Chains A and B, each alone.
Chain A
Amino acid sequence: MAVLTEEQTLLRDAARTWTQEESPVARFRSLRDSGAPLRFDPAVYAEMAAMGWAGVIIPEAYGGSGFGFLGMGLILEETGRTLTASPLLSSALTAASALMLAGSDEQKQRWLPGIASGATIATLAIDEGAHHRPSHVAMTAMRDGTGYRLSGSKNFVLEGMAANLFVVSARTSGASPDTAGISLFLVEASTPGLGRAPLSLADSRGAANLVFDNVEVGVDALLGTVGDGWAALEGTLDRARAGLAAEMLGAALQAFETTLDYLKTRVQFGQAIGAFQGLQHRAVKMYTDLELARSCVEAALTAIDETDPRVPEYASLAKAKVGDTLHLVTNEMVQMHGGIGMTDAHDAGLYLKRARAAEATYGGQAYHRDRYARINGY
């Protein structure tokens, strides 16, 4: 654990207390079983926002607290532990980052205070295929009269059914997968021609596929400069990756601790199964990976706060390392629990399903290993 300031410690403790008491895994389970349409409880998100969590990275001038990414990571680690479902990552971190990195003052004034208060839910709509490949943008934005006309589709849009605002990548020139020619647009969910359909996902989180059929937006919808959206998109994604990595670290820690408890209490052959060396060594492997993963997550979040030029490298490192670790820990969680781990009644399955969805989001391990190699010139 990084050395925290007094305020960061208070924030972390508050997040831990609230998630453990108000949002335990059982609450996520009952949300899933209730079939709630948005896949999160708006009242719960309002509670989180009331504690100031949705404004942690947003500057005070725009209604936030400007507390930084390490602070946001502390909250996400705790919500990750209990699988708390909310738009905290997609809206308060990711979409807010896009506005902070590329927005004009008017755009920030218009949208950031609502995101910080939780009243507005914003999200990225960037992926078009089965894999996260953000430069593969086929959606077009044609200059037309007073604005632009957007046509194409976006898939796997997190909180896509709940969102009032989408940050959309579209091509104003060039061809996929060129990075030049990609522009970012702010598109309100109510805009005519924009259709959305909910996805039912294994991890029971909210997501949607979007179809843009000649969606008209004004020039004020352009986020940043035309054709030059790639840098802001990458910057936004790296913040999202670091934040998601913190959430994944929390999920991995909880999956590990639950499994470790089971190793100490489950008795077979007259002894706790945790006495068997075959399981002990696998437990230490997980513990080792968790310690290494934590260092990567904290380095990525700190690099963002310190505007360190190594943010892209650290974000890919963190996403890949935590992805591998969460993958391993959730598989071991099922295996070490044996038959009970296969039942829906046990939490192991919830962590396993969340793990794979989180791994794929904003680029899986293979994507980030390739990216890391390119950043390092080989």
Chain B
Amino acid sequence: MADGAHHEFEAFAEEARAWLAGNYPAELKSRAAKVDPEAQWGGRPFVDSQDPQVVWMRRMASKGWTAPTWPAAFGGGGLTAEQARILERELTAGGYRAPLASFGLWMLGPVLLEYATEAQKREHLPKIIRGEIRWCQGYSEPGAGSDLASLQTKCDDKGDHWLINGQKIWTSYANKADWCFCLVRTDTSKKHEGISFVLIDMASHGVETRPIKLISGDSPFCETFFTDVKVPKENLVGRVGGGWEIAKRLLQYERQNISGGFGSGGGAGGASGDLGELAKSYIGMDASGAVADGDLRGRITQNKMDFQAFYLTLSRVATEARSNAGSGPSAATSIIKYAAATLAQQRSELMVEVLGHQGLGWEGDAFSSAEKTITRGWLRSKGNSIEGGTSEVNINVVAKRVLGLPDPKVG
């Protein structure tokens, strides 16, 4: 790197560091900060809120730093990729809370930047950046899971508006969202080319949501029903019948996020804690200092090694991506989601096994909250290989796209 560029990055890092330190609400500095857990997601209920998390979000949004690389013209930070990495590094190093959690930020925004009209961008991007509108994703339907393109929610052209009828499922936080980006069928004679991408205000007449209870208990997932919902013509993104391409693009962003979300916590809903440490306290050690159950110890080690291999792969892929900027992500990215789901599930199983009877509690004081979190997390982890594309479909795609194996003959 040229010296000049290096100095420029140093200067930016210093500026960012100073600004973050000067603008972080004092109330958030304490671990015990009283913050509404929903505040981080923003949305209509928080537009006038004085919750410190929302204050932080607003300050960051004023710099465009809730969406650091989005164009400044829409309220984004307009940063280069390198500057955004520096900002990210400063946020992590300073222990700052994320200013905004948002499907609008992670999934919708990137495809709007790519496919939306200028008017649509001006309408929606600034509100995403400022956290004023909370978005949900209307993709899956009861009859359209892995075969998403068989979706049936109808979108009829009524001249001056669209009319939506149908049902979505697995709509995360639909009951709390302000708007929904939704796949609908504008043409029943064609499968993929009959799909369009529309934006629906959840406050519209005819929208109803019902939360779904999972094997692990309450969940953010909902069923969403659309009954004669009127949607303005300008809310269709891209061309009529062009929704499938946008949907696939958006799924790429979603998968990046699901993969990124598998920390040592073991995936969505997973519990934290080191398996080796847990085994020491719940099983005990033999005279040589090894966990007393040799079989379980071996399986724990296998999982810990695989996780370490997985994290080393994440960092390798990131390094490769930086050095081959422009030539696209390395092929190894294709296996990240599948590997993460498998490992997180194995880990969750092992945690419950290590806890023994203490891993079987559902409610009540006989079990610590950490133990119950592990039990619920184990059940929740079963979804890791289903949500965002099943592992089986993921593997089919890798077989075809990465390994170049042929499609099976049908019939």
Contact = CB atoms under 8 A, between A and B. Distances in A.
A358 B53 CA distance: 56
A295 interface: yes
B401 to A, nearest CB: 11
A373 B306 contact: no
B229 interface: no
Interface stretch (B9-17, B33-41, B262-270, B312-320): B312-320
Nearest to A274: B405
Given A260-B403, A378-B291, A284 B398 contact: yes
A292 B276 contact: no
A3 interface: yes
Interface in B275-320: 276-277, 279-280, 285, 289-291, 297-298, 300-302, 304-306, 308-310, 312-313, 315-316, 319-320
B72 interface: no
Given A3-B320, A275-B405, A317-B308, A284 B279 contact: no
Interface residues on B, range: 35 or more
A378 B299 CA distance: 13
B407 A378 contact: no
Given A317-B308, A378-B277, A281 B395 contact: yes
Contacts of A298: 312, 316
A1 interface: yes
Contacts of A299: 312
Interface string A285-307: 10110011111101100000000
Chain A contact residues: helix, strand, loop or mixed: helix
A287 B403 contact: yes
A96 interface: no
B101 interface: no
Nearest to A285: B395
Given A271-B406, A280-B405, A284-B395, A374 B290 contact: yes
A317 B316 CA distance: 16
B409 interface: yes
Closest 3 CB pairs of A and B: A378-B276, A295-B312, A280-B399
Given A280-B399, A287-B403, A378-B276, 16 more contacts: A3-B323, A271-B409, A275-B406, A275-B407, A277-B396, A280-B403, A281-B392, A284-B338, A287-B335, A288-B339, A288-B398, A291-B332, A294-B313, A295-B313, A369-B301, A369-B302
15 contacts: A3-B319, A270-B409, A274-B405, A275-B407, A280-B395, A283-B403, A291-B313, A294-B313, A295-B313, A299-B312, A317-B305, A321-B305, A370-B298, A373-B276, A376-B304
